[in-house]
Every structure is written in structure tokens, then in C-alpha cells.
Amino acid sequence: AQSVTQPDIHITVSEGASLELRCNYSYGATPYLFWYVQSPGQGLQLLLKYFSGDTLVQGIKGFEAEFKRSQSSFNLRKPSVHWSDAAEYFCAVGVFNDYKLSFGAGTTVTVRA
């Protein structure tokens, strides 16, 4: 079965600084990869997804992620964070022909002024 690790439980970043959130997965074949964001009191919103093709994926809200097969990683980046990016971020993995997603435990992002 596939698994997902988000090594960073909590990250604090200054407004305007860059942000990178790490995600590593364990799965033998090419997985389907997702990043979701959860703002306080809200459900999860899909930021971006990777199924195949270009390994650099653009998402909503200025986020991008890069799939690196050799490192089994799918790290999320944003060049310049805004205070509204303070939230919890979840990486998820799906596999072919199985609709169940495996989620990481999440990374909480705090943005300081």
C-alpha cells in the first residue's frame, strides 16, 4: 500500500518570503499526486494535481509543485507568501485503478508579518 510522509509538522515563514513544503511518498509505480489546503474552519481545497506529463505542475493561488521520481517527492512551492496562505497543507497519493487517496499528516504554515 502507498504511504505519504510530510516531514515538517509546522513551518513559519515571513510574508513575502518563499515557501517550500515537502512531501515524500512510498509506492512502486507512478502515483497520482495531490496537494490540498485547509484554512481554519474550512474543508480541504485542491491546490494542484499531477497525473502524468510535465513534472512541474502549476496550481491555484500561485502554488506549484514538482514531481521528482528519483526522490519519490512532490514538493509544493510558492515564491512569495501572503498572510492568507496561513493554513494546513496536505499531500495525498492515489494509485491507478484505486480511488482511495492516502493523505499525509499535514504541515501547518504560519505567516508572520
Partner 1 sequence: ETGVTQTPRHLVMGMTNKKSLKCEQHLGHNAMYWYKQSAKKPLELMFVYNFKEQTENNSVPSRFSPECPNSSHLFLHLHTLQPEDSALYLCASSQDTSDYEQYFGPGTRLTVT
Site string for partner 1, 44-83 (x = CB under 8 A): xxx--x-x--------------------------------
CB within 8 Å of 5: residues ≥ 6 apart = 23, 24, 25, 26, 104
Minimum distance between the CB of residue 77 and partner 1, rounded to whole angstroms? 21
Minimum distance between the CB of residue 76 and partner 1, rounded to whole angstroms? 17
Contact 100, 32 (CB under 8 A): no
Sign of CA pseudo-dihedral 53, 64, 59, 43: positive
Site string for partner 1, 30-49 (x = CB under 8 A): --x-x-x----xxxxxx--x
